[in-house]
């Protein structure tokens, strides 16, 4: 998955090491996102990813640098996901890298994995993420009281969600605002249309073989043999 500035890729062993640092108790990224904040090993992350409990992606810039991680996991019924992640280096915050990484992840889940609902939780002391999410079309579903403990006191958290139709409505609005906007399709619509023309042309050809046609031919042949046998 590739965007204008970052891409999402399968993590390497070295990147699992970075993720463990970013999501550990001493990390400022983990404190702000509240995505982990406790001791976790690279092996833990790799095992969870391999087993499908939490799918991790490395966030890489186009020059090859690894700057963060985003993840998703099934949350509730099929088609419902919780997402999370962080840009690891505070010097790279507020540059739009995290927002684009989450956009790519959301596109992947709604547009390629048939997701129905997406949600994430953010601490109410996370100014940057709150600014981003209030502009991104997510719906505030509720407040989790005293959900996080930081700096000697409890803090509330907010639960945000996005539904499938809301995601596609946002794509429609982008197309209306920007004629050059291209939907995040893996295969362009023009190629899909060409492929459909090929199969329709094949089906229309009188000598094309299909399973239905062969079945009918076999049935006609059996009927003809039966008629000949009965005539004798």
pLDDT at 217: 73
pLDDT higher than threshold 60 for residue 36:
no
- pLDDT at site 33: 63
Averaged pLDDT for residues 41-50: 91
- Provide the CB-side half-sphere exposure for 161 (13 A, CA): 13
Tell me whether strands 55-61 and 80-87 are parallel, antiparallel or unpaired.
unpaired
Q: Name all domains of the chain by residue range, CATH numbers in brackets.
A: 6-186 (3.40.630.30), 187-232 (no CATH)
Widest pairwise Cα distance in the chain = 100
Using the structure block, give the residue that is written with the tokens 């993590």: 11
pLDDT at 134: 87
> Which pair of tokens denotes residue 55?
């799918």
Mean pLDDT of the chain: 87
* Residue 177 or residue 27, greater confidence: 177
87-136 per-position pLDDT tens digit = 888 888 888 999 999 999 999 999 999 999 999 999 999 888 898 888 88
Question: Which of 29-33, 42-46, 136-140, 165-169 has the least mean pLDDT?
Answer: 29-33
- The two tokens of residue 181 are 């906007």
Of 108, 111, 120, nearest in space to 161 by CA: 120
Are the beta carbons of 70 and 84 closer than 8 angstroms? yes
Q: Which spans in 122-163 are helix H?
A: 127-135
For the entire predicted model, the pTM comes to 0.82
pLDDT reading at 138 higher than 60: yes
3-state secondary structure of 178: coil
CA 145/CA 155 separation, integer angstroms = 7
């Amino acid at each position: 998955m590739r965007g204008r500035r970052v891409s999402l890729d399968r993590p390497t062993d070295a990147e699992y090491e970075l993720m463990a640092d970013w999501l550990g108790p001493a990390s400022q990224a983990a404190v702000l996102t509240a995505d982990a904040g406790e001791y976790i090993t690279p092996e833990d992350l790799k095992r969870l990813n391999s087993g499908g409990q939490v799918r991790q992606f490395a966030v890489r810039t186009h020059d090859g640098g690894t700057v963060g991680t985003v993840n998703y996991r099934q949350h509730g019924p099929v088609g419902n996901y919780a997402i999370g992640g962080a840009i690891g280096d505070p010097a790279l915050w507020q540059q739009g890298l995290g927002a684009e990484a989450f956009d790519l992840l959301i596109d992947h889940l709604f547009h390629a994995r048939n997701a129905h609902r997406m949600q994430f939780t953010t601490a109410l002391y996370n100014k940057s993420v709150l600014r981003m999410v209030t502009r991104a079309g997510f719906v505030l579903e509720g407040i989790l009281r005293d959900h996080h403990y930081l700096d000697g006191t409890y803090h509330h958290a907010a639960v945000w969600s996005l539904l499938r139709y809301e995601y596609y409505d946002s794509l429609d609005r982008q197309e209306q605002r920007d004629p050059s906007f291209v939907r995040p399709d893996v295969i362009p619509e023009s190629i899909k249309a060409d492929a459909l023309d090929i199969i329709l042309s094949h089906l229309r050809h009188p000598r094309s073989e299909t399973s239905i046609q062969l079945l009918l031919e076999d049935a006609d042949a059996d009927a003809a043999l039966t008629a000949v046998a009965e005539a004798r």
